[in-house]
Structures are given as C-alpha cells and as structure tokens.
Structure 1
C-alpha cells in the first residue's frame, strides 16, 4: 500500500471497514494516545510534505486529500498546544484551493469533503470563512454547518480565534478574555 492510501485509510478507515465514511470520535477529541500514534506514524511524512518533497501528491484527489490531512489535521494532533499545530494551515488552504479549482474536491465522498473544506474553517481570514460556510452548506450536514458558522462568527467578532492566543503568544483583549470564559468558545 502506498503512503497516500495509508494516510487516507488511517484517518477515514479502509473502505472495507464497516465504519468507513462515518464520523470518528478520535477526530475532534483531545486524546494523548491518539496524538502519539499520529506523531509516531506520520511525523516523517509531514516533515517531507512541509519541505515540499511530496508536492507531486497534489496531482491526484487522494494525494491532495492526504496532504490536507498532514497539514491541517495531523498537525493538530502531533503538535497539540503549540504554535506548530497551526503552522502549516496556509499550505493546507493552498492544497484545498487547488482541489476546488481542478475538480478533485468533487471526486471525494461527503466525509472527505468535510476535511478538504476544514482548512477554510480554520483560517482567520474572513473570505476563507465565507467559503467554508458555503462549502458546508452544500454538503448538507447541519452539525458541520453549525461549526462553520460558529467559526465565522468568531472571526467576524474578533478577527482571529481567541482560543489560539496563548499558544501563539498573542495577548488577549479584555473582550476576548471574557469570551473565552463562555461555553463553546474554543474548538
């Protein structure tokens, strides 16, 4: 099995698995064991991708999806609670834009499309946020759309994600500090 398929199968499970195509609990939950597993299995792939050695993967839908997973999802597991968790977000957005412009996005199933759209939801840029909401509206998942809209509202209000301030060494405003004390203020 090639590395692209190993990355995609690790995240979404193999097509032969009964849970393939379904949401997985490990995706959005803090789990040190899962973080360590991601780091152990995929840190070398991420470092190669970050260095530009895997750019040829972007020549296919599956390869582009694997790059997005490395840059946008695996970083959040491998480098949790550090600035490096967000350092490759721009690369993920570049690949996601590429997928949209060349039609690769349309080759994905619904769950895969959610992850191809997440780099826009993770962005602190308003245009990216609007694109995220549009993509999630098209996917028709109420829960995923709710998250996209909540991300957009935070960017509209603050121009950034206050829950990242500490990790990124940014000083929070009084309004952000008050916001961070409310339920569902971070993701």
Structure 2
C-alpha cells in the first residue's frame, strides 16, 4: 500500500536535514509532485489495516505529519493527518521502534507529539525526545510544549484554522521565533 522505501530514501538520503524545516516553494512543489497521491492515500488509510513494521510506520508518519505541511502549506489541510500520525507514533512507541532507530528516525517518529495541540502528547513526548533524539530537537520539543502550556494551542495556526486570536496570542505572534 505505502511505498515506504521511496519515502524514506527521499527524506533521509536525497534530502538533507537543512531542507526538512525550511520554507521553500520549490521543495514543497517537489514533494507535491512526487508524493501527493501517496499523501491522499495515507489520509484515507485505516491504521488498523497497516502492517506493523518500522519502515511502514515511519513513512506513514512522514506523509501525514511532514509532507502534509509542505504540500498544503498555509492551509488547514496541512494539519489533516495530525491525529492519525499521533496514533501511529503511539503504536510505534508501544512496539519499541524508537529504541531501535537512529536519532533522525526517532525525531520523525516522535514529531507528531511535538506538533500536537494536546498537552498529554507533549508530556508523553518530551522525555522521549530527551532520551532518543539530539539536544537541538529536544529544545524544539520543549519550546513547542511551552507554547501549549501557555495557550493550549499553537496561535500561529489560528488564521488557517479559522480560530480567533486572543490579545495575548496576537502579542505573542509579534515575537521572534513564535512561528514554526
């Protein structure tokens, strides 16, 4: 169903870490051209039907949590895969996929917990980020959790999700580093 090898080879071999989080229209278009059909398929996938395998889960998480953000940037659709990605992450944790992977794999296995607006996901993820990823990734996880602690959501998503921003959120959004 999911072409795990092509997704993982693209993300971890063809792309460099510098490309992963940088806003770049050409990179977004490249992902859209190569993976849009798989993204759409993954959004419709029933998790219970997915073979529990490290590569399959990681590739699905990347499709649902990362590629959606590139392909549907500045749209509410960029968050459509988040809940499913969190469920996959929790299954991956239960199956010890995190313990047997390198820190780049671990970062993306855990990323849905960082992107979640549920504080319980952050509480689950933070010690795992500390133990199984690098210091920089842990710092970003901590920064995300701090925002959820303060606002119960990521204010920078308000516009695309049709939410009204509070005065304190608008003030926060003026600060450098308040958006991801």
- TM-score under structure 1 length normalisation: 0.90
Q: Which residue of 2 aligns with 1:8?
A: 8
Which deviates further from its counterpart, 50-59 or 145-154? 50-59
Q: 1:90 aligns with which of 79, 83, 86?
A: 83
Quote how far apart the aligned CAs of 1:104 are: 2.3
Q: Structure 1 residue 34 and structure 2 residue 27: aligned? A: yes
CA distance in 2, matches of 1:169, 1:57: 32
Q: Which residue of 2 aligns with 1:185?
A: 178
CA distance in 1, matches of 2:50, 2:25: 29
CA deviation string 1:138-184 (max 9, x = no partner): 02522111111110110010000000001111010000000000011
Which deviates further from its counterpart, 126-135 or 61-70? 126-135
Q: 1:137 aligns with which of 124, 127, 130?
A: 130
CA deviation string 1:98-130 (max 9, x = no partner): 101122222321110001000000001111011
Q: Structure 1 residue 154 and structure 2 residue 169: aligned? A: no
> Counterparts in 2 of 1:36-185, with a 5 A limit?
36-52=29-45, 56-139=49-132, 141-185=134-178
User: Where in structure 2 are there 5+ consecutive unaligned residues?
Assistant: none
Secondary structure at 2:98 match in 1: helix
Provide the alpha-carbon RMSD of the alignment: 1.7
CA deviation string 1:73-106 (max 9, x = no partner): 0000010000000111001001101101122222
CA distance in 1, matches of 2:54, 2:130: 21
Greater than 3 Å deviation, 4+ residue runs: 53-58
CA deviation string 1:33-54 (max 9, x = no partner): 0000101111111111112178
CA distance in 2, matches of 1:140, 1:166: 31
